[in-house]
């Protein structure tokens, strides 16, 4: 066995133990051994290390069965913090989260716009310093920073590649730049994958091994969990549901493909359609030019029964449902979690329309249902996911994230 | 650790050892220990059992390094055989394959048509007896039978569910019936998944961890391998690429969904379009009513440069390419293997058109290429895959096939 293999195996056992203490704690060493299949001796060694590192605490006592009283173990949530950064088109969101995935501090600022990436990185570095200062957490307790952006991206190089909403960021070394300016270890992944990891950390997907997030910011992406493992594909460019074709003879997409979902259903498109309707006098809502705000306004109008707004939202949801069915027919999933700012006002329509479509159109509908629900993390799904992503990678490598065989 | 967990772990190590001996044999015990990360003692125990069971052989000697001469281990391919049965619409195919995935015997008969499943099962049972008798293999060396059918299916119940090409088989307990009439242990999966496993067994996917088969018989399906593991989803109803939408505002599909790929691109549709063209006097080819033969005739006419046949085949390939791009954009794959009878004459067109589409339209094209190639197993891909599927399950459980967490 090579050293790397030995290390990986140990890290994997350590990850299992941490995950179990998080999900089932307070828990005894005996239960840990039973549930992980590891020996008592291995559990003792791992637990001792985790106690020394202050990641877990001994707490209370189990019922004495006559012999030595049992100590229980639970997570020391504040012992390690993760910083999450989501660079969206409209907003940049920062979150500091603890070991339970709870938000300790949060800040949201305007999106990067057309400002040069180097300038934005300086601004982000100052924002991060300010957030840490105002939250009062020790900088040394932050194990690293997770960075989430829309895809496609080159995770190895740590760069965004031709993302429609972050055009001038193409090939800019985001991860390297932020590692250098903040001094934090940085992890990098797409927003939808981060959201799927965040959902798992908060326990919202418990009982489901095969599910996906559908993440709608200004574009649309998806994070896929298969057999309990975040799926990364060859190069982390997975879950591009926004570039699943809904009309093979349709419009050309800037991505190079034809008839992509984003062209028919993204908040950007719905807002453009709303602006046209407003120009024709068919819709009376204030439009600000900020996509997420304008999309929220359309969602509010639809909720209030405006016929035009309803038609636009339903049209978008129908197309999203179509791409979700394609994904479910390919991947035989149990659960779809809708995450991202776009679902904060119009989410109910999407849940209803996608649920209904899956119940009537998915191939495996006679064999098992596919549930659809809104993310427990609301607007923060990607940033919180990014924070949990770095916590996951620093504390329990290889348990949720898969190994790359590429 | 429960008994089940211990057994699983042992089977998983055993599977790894068998897989390595198959792919890298002749191989020494020392190399096995190095490559698996298992201890010398564990390797010795596993190898001793495999030698006793006659699954592997000791062979030759490595270069003596002064001490004890090294023995090498290799598979004893004829020691265990797998029977594969593919129930397609046009043909039923039987294959007996050895431990290397090589075909020992083969038989192909007409498809089940409208004859009652019970009658077909009797006929298949006689066909299997005849095949075993004429091939001269010992019945006792056959470890079981893999059954592959088009999806959707209920793998737990061992039944086909509403497969358009096997309508009267819906809910008929195929696996139970054949287990009872043949006495063999039976495994059951969809044809595209079986084809993907067969490709792996023959070493044709070596070096690729994330790939999919696209299986075209009369319909279209797909088998998906992720991070080196066959993906089964919640209920094995994965890879239904034939029911990925290519036109969300298109034709209603008998499956319940809208604008499914099969309605625009399946051999069944191409043959129907060819029949219309022939009726209009635009195409001069013999049509027999057997879809795979007629589709082959269209493929041959296209290869010979017939403009109408070319248009029909290219139209189908364009739509398949569109659905493949959707799948690749969701799953970030490295390789697409085209398998099934439909590709035997027209395969070249599909390879070219799908390759070209992926090179220009896939999201991750700037990061890595996606290769497209024809299956090494030609017409036998599903039946051979079914044979390897049962060998895999009987000899190396849990190494290629994933565990269900559902």
Cα angle value B22/B28/B32 (rounded, 5°)? 65
Chain B neighbours among A 342-371 (CB < 8 Å)? 360-368
A319, B248: Cβ pair inside 8 Å? yes
pLDDT at residue number A125 = 97
Residue A281's SS3 state is coil
For residue B64, pLDDT over 80 is answered with no
> B15 or A246: which carries more pLDDT confidence?
A246
> B193 or A9: which carries more pLDDT confidence?
B193
SS (H, E, C) A156-213: CCCEECCCHHHHHHECCCHHHHHHHHHCCCEEEEEHHHHHHHHHHHCCCCCCCCCEEE
CB atoms within 10 A of CB A60: 11
What are the backbone angles phi and psi of residue B339, rounded to the nearest 5°?
A: -130, 155
> Are the beta carbons of A291 and A218 closer than 8 angstroms?
yes
Confidence band of B8 (pLDDT split at 50, 70, 90): very low
> Are the beta carbons of B148 and B389 closer than 8 angstroms?
yes
Tens-digit pLDDT profile for residues A350-359: 999 999 999 9
Asked if residue A360 and residue A338 are part of one domain, the reply reads: yes
> Are the beta carbons of B62 and B69 closer than 8 angstroms?
yes
pLDDT at residue number B241 = 97
Helices (H), B84-239: 117-135, 174-182, 191-201
Query: Is A403 inside any structural domain?
Result: no
pLDDT at residue number B333 = 96
Q: DSSP letter at B161? A: -
Asked if residue A358 and residue A211 are part of one domain, the reply reads: yes
Q: How far is B106 from chain A (nearest CA, A)?
A: 31
Tens-digit pLDDT profile for residues B172-229: 999 999 999 999 999 999 899 999 888 888 878 888 889 999 999 878 999 998 877 7
Q: How far is B7 from chain A (nearest CA, A)?
A: 12
Find where tokens 């707004």 sit. Answer: A309
Asked if residue B355 and residue B225 are part of one domain, the reply reads: yes
Chain A neighbours among B 208-227 (CB < 8 Å)? 209-210, 222, 224, 226-227
**What strands lie across the sheet with B71-75, from one edge to the other?**
B27-28, B71-75, B56-61
Tens-digit pLDDT profile for residues A312-344: 999 999 999 999 999 999 999 999 999 998 998
Asked if residue B270 and residue B142 are part of one domain, the reply reads: no
Confidence band of B14 (pLDDT split at 50, 70, 90): confident
For residue B89, pLDDT over 60 is answered with yes
What DSSP string describes B4-65?
Answer: HHHHHHHHHHHHHHHHHHHHH-SEEHHHHHHHH---HHHHHHHHHHHHHTTSEEEEEEPPP-
pLDDT at residue number B16 = 82
Among candidate residues A75, A100, A131, the one where a domain is terminated:
A75
Asked if residue A215 and residue A178 are part of one domain, the reply reads: no
Confidence band of B397 (pLDDT split at 50, 70, 90): low
CATH number for A26: 1.10.10.10
pLDDT at residue number A2 = 38
Asked if residue A279 and residue A355 are part of one domain, the reply reads: yes
| Cα A77 from Cα A58, distance rounded (Å) | 13
Asked if residue B177 and residue B316 are part of one domain, the reply reads: no
Q: Which two tokens stand for residue A249?
A: 């003879």
Euclidean distance between the first and final Cα of chain A, in Å?
A: 21
Asked if residue B306 and residue B339 are part of one domain, the reply reads: yes
Of B166, B255, B246, B167, nearest in space to A361 by CA: B255
Asked if residue A350 and residue A218 are part of one domain, the reply reads: yes
For residue A308, pLDDT over 70 is answered with yes
Q: Which two tokens stand for residue A376?
A: 């427990």
Asked if residue A216 and residue A182 are part of one domain, the reply reads: no
B330, A224: Cβ pair inside 8 Å? yes
A331, B1: Cβ pair inside 8 Å? no
> B339 or B66: which carries more pLDDT confidence?
B339
Q: Which two tokens stand for residue A329?
A: 């027919």
For residue A37, pLDDT over 80 is answered with yes
Range of the domain at B279: 206-374
pLDDT at residue number A161 = 81
Asked if residue A278 and residue A231 are part of one domain, the reply reads: yes
Tens-digit pLDDT profile for residues A187-197: 999 899 999 88
For residue B135, pLDDT over 60 is answered with yes
For residue A406, pLDDT over 70 is answered with no
Mean pLDDT over B276-291 rounds to 94
Q: How far is B189 from chain A (nearest CA, A)?
A: 14
CATH number for A190: 3.30.420.40
| Cα B8 from Cα B402, distance rounded (Å) | 12
Among candidate residues B75, B91, B109, the one where a domain is terminated:
B75
B323, A231: Cβ pair inside 8 Å? no
Query: Is B48 inside any structural domain?
Result: yes
């Amino acid at each position: 066995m090579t050293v790397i293999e030995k290390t990986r195996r140990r890290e994997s056992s350590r990850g299992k133990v941490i995950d179990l203490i998080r999900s089932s704690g307070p828990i005894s060493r005996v239960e840990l051994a039973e549930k992980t299949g590891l020996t008592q001796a291995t559990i003792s060694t791992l637990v001792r290390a985790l106690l020394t590192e202050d990641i877990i605490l001994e707490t209370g006592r189990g019922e004495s069965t006559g012999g030595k009283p049992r100590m229980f173990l639970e997570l020391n949530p504040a012992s390690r913090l993760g910083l999450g950064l989501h660079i969206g088109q409209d907003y940049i969101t920062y979150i500091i989260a603890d070991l339970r995935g709870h938000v300790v501090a949060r800040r949201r600022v305007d999106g990067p716009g057309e400002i040069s990436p180097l300038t934005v990185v300086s601004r982000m570095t100052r924002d991060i310093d300010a957030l840490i200062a105002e939250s009062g957490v020790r900088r040394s307790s932050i194990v690293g920073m997770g960075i989430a952006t829309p895809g496609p991206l080159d995770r190895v190089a740590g760069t965004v590649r031709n993302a429609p909403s972050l055009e001038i960021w193409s090939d800019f070394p985001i991860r390297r730049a932020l590692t250098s300016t903040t001094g934090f270890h940085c992890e990098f992944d797409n927003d939808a994958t981060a959201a799927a990891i965040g959902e798992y950390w908060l326990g919202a997907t418990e009982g489901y091994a095969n599910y996906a997030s559908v993440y709608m910011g200004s574009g649309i992406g998806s994070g896929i969990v298969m057999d309990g493992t975040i799926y990364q594909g060859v190069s982390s460019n997975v879950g591009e549901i926004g570039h699943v074709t809904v009309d093979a003879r349709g419009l050309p997409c800037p991505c190079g493909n034809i008839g992509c979902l984003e062209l028919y259903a993204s908040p950007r498109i719905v807002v453009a359609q709303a602006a046209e309707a407003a120009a024709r006098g068919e819709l009376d809502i204030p439009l600000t030019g900020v996509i997420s705000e304008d999309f929220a306004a359309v969602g509010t109008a639809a909720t209030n029964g405006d016929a035009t707004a309803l038609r636009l939202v339903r049209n978008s949801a129908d197309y999203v449902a179509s791409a979700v069915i394609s994904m479910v027919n390919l991947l035989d999933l149990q659960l779809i979690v809708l995450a991202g700012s776009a679902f904060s006002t119009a989410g109910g329509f999407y849940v209803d329309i996608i649920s209904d479509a899956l119940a009537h159109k998915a191939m495996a509908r006679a064999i098992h249902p596919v549930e659809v629900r809104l993310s427990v993390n609301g607007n923060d799904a990607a940033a919180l996911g990014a924070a949990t992503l770095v916590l996951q990678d620093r504390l329990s490598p290889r348990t949720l994230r898969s190994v790359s065989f590429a």
